[in-house]
Amino acid sequence: MLDDRQYRHFQTFGFVALRQLFTPDEVETLRGEFEKGLDLAYQHRPFDGSERHWAKQMGPETPFYANLLEDERFWSITAQLYGNDALAVGTDANRYVGDTRWHPDHRIDPHEDCYGVKFAFYLDPVDADTGALRLVPGSHKRPLHDDVRAYVEGQELEQIPDYVCVSEPGDVFAFDMRCWHASFGGAEGRRMSTCVYYKNPEGPEEEAAARKRAESSRNTPAQYKHQANQLFDTEWLANRHNHPLRQQWITRLTELGFVDAA
């Protein structure tokens, strides 16, 4: 879990650095599974530097990734921030191309969108000149969130004051998905992965917002042009080890429409 200083940092600025959360051996495992997962997802479209590749990493071919959501290093922090009923949404692998413009992943109003925490980790060293994640501290809250939205339109990427998440392999950055963030200056093919959790929606308005998000999320595999037509791997959903926490997530994700009830 986060200590008091880390917790207050996250609540105030919307992010926290978790240095060397992974061991060197785990980093090597992540690297191997990263390549395997993306190669499988894009057998029909090998990476050539022209477009971003993205894939969920929740199948039997990538077992270390598939079990990260239950890993206490991630789950204990998520539960501390968003409650023991928070929802695991997935782990993924991203091979980036070009710049990522300033954006939040989710809207700030819980009645319009769900929200939660993203744990992001690079598999190579990154800094200000090589495509590190950049965040606008405190932009997960109003009024700054709305002020940034009004300001960024028409601005060059580098004109936005930011925090650069300088990172070595093994480091993880946890950030509220309502934070404005970007990345620029990196090489083609830079490797970054995430673990994502949402706060469990409460009441009919928040649930309606989550269902709207679920509907758009289920189109993500098609958006990134891979052959898989589902957001969650069938083996992960089978939960053959009867993990109670995973079953709690699957049940709620099905209720909200992230998982097909059939």
pLDDT in tens, 52-92: 999 999 999 999 999 999 999 999 999 999 999 999 999 99
CB 134 within 8 A of CB 183: yes
Say if 262 falls within a structural domain.
no
Say if 113 falls within a structural domain.
yes
Greatest C-alpha distance within the chain: 51
Q: How confident is the model at residue 207 (pLDDT cuts 50, 70, 90)?
A: very high
Range of the domain at 137: 4-256
> What CATH number has the domain bearing residue 46?
2.60.120.620
- d(CA 98, CA 246) in angstroms, rounded, equals 35
Q: pLDDT tens digit string along 180-205?
A: 999 998 888 899 999 999 999 999 99
Say if 241 falls within a structural domain.
yes
Say if 183 falls within a structural domain.
yes
How wide is the angle at C-alpha 119 spanned by C-alphas 117 and 124, nearest 5°? Answer: 155
Q: What is the number of structural domains in the chain?
A: 1
Question: Helix or strand or coil: residue 226?
Answer: coil
Say if 261 falls within a structural domain.
no
Supply the pLDDT for residue 139.
97
Q: pLDDT tens digit string along 24-49?
A: 999 999 999 999 999 998 888 888 88
Say if 73 falls within a structural domain.
yes
Question: Helix or strand or coil: residue 51?
Answer: coil
Q: How confident is the model at residue 223 (pLDDT cuts 50, 70, 90)?
A: confident
Other Cβ atoms closer than 10 A to 2: 17
